[in-house]
């Protein structure tokens, strides 16, 4: 690879819309191959690195973890990959997202109930803080179980 066909770390970071530490982290983690270096130690990235970084960021925007993205990158590189393999990962991610949404709704409902009990009448007692105390949580669960 000639010097003319390579980019330095700052150029890759700017063009891919990430910071330099992100690139270094991806290298340490093995998501990005460690690039060749000049005699003076500068990294020399192939232009394809920008596409890979953008792929990673788009996948993260869709909720994929870095581990899942590594799988997607392997599937992307493997010419024998079937569409079913990629579809399966996407279906699994949708199920994960649906579960997170379910948990978030439950959290919102629980917090709403706590807010409804809060009258802020100037007393030092606060039902929200009390519900968050370690010793209050088991008692609340038992009270709810009895209902």
Number of H helices, E strands in the chain: 7, 2
- Domain for residue 136, yes or no? yes
Question: Do 64 and 101 fall into the same domain?
Answer: no
3-state helix vs strand vs coil in the chain, percent to 5: 65, 5, 30
- Domain for residue 20, yes or no? yes
- Domain for residue 89, yes or no? no
Over residues 16-60, the pLDDT tens digits come to: 999 999 999 999 999 999 999 999 999 999 999 999 999 999 999
Which residue range forms the structural domain that includes residue 75? 1-81
pTM: 0.72
Q: Which residue has the higher pLDDT, 137 or 80?
A: 80
Whether 80 contacts 42, CB under 8 Å? no
pLDDT at 144 over 80: no
Chosen domain end from 56, 81, 106: 81
Whether 99 contacts 105, CB under 8 Å? no
d(CA 90, CA 59) in angstroms, rounded, equals 10
Question: Do 117 and 54 fall into the same domain?
Answer: no
Question: Do 110 and 142 fall into the same domain?
Answer: yes
Give the pLDDT band of residue 3 (cuts 50, 70, 90): low
Over residues 71-111, the pLDDT tens digits come to: 999 988 888 888 888 899 999 999 999 999 999 999 999 99
d(CA 105, CA 98) in angstroms, rounded, equals 11
Question: Do 24 and 67 fall into the same domain?
Answer: yes
């Amino acid at each position: 690879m000639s010097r003319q066909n390579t980019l330095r770390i700052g150029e890759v970071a700017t063009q891919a819309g990430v910071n330099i530490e992100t690139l270094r982290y991806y290298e340490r983690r093995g998501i990005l191959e460690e690039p060749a270096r000049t005699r003076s130690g500068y990294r020399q990235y192939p232009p394809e690195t920008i596409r890979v970084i953008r792929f990673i960021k788009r996948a993260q925007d869709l909720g994929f973890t870095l581990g899942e993205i590594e799988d997607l990158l392997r599937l992307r590189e493997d010419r024998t990959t079937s569409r079913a393999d990629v579809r399966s990962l996407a279906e699994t991610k949708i199920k994960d997202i649906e579960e997170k949404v379910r948990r978030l709704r439950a959290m919102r409902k629980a917090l709403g109930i706590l807010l409804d009990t809060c009258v802020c009448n100037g007393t030092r007692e606060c039902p929200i803080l009390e519900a968050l105390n370690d010793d209050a949580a088991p008692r609340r669960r038992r009270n709810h179980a009895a209902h």
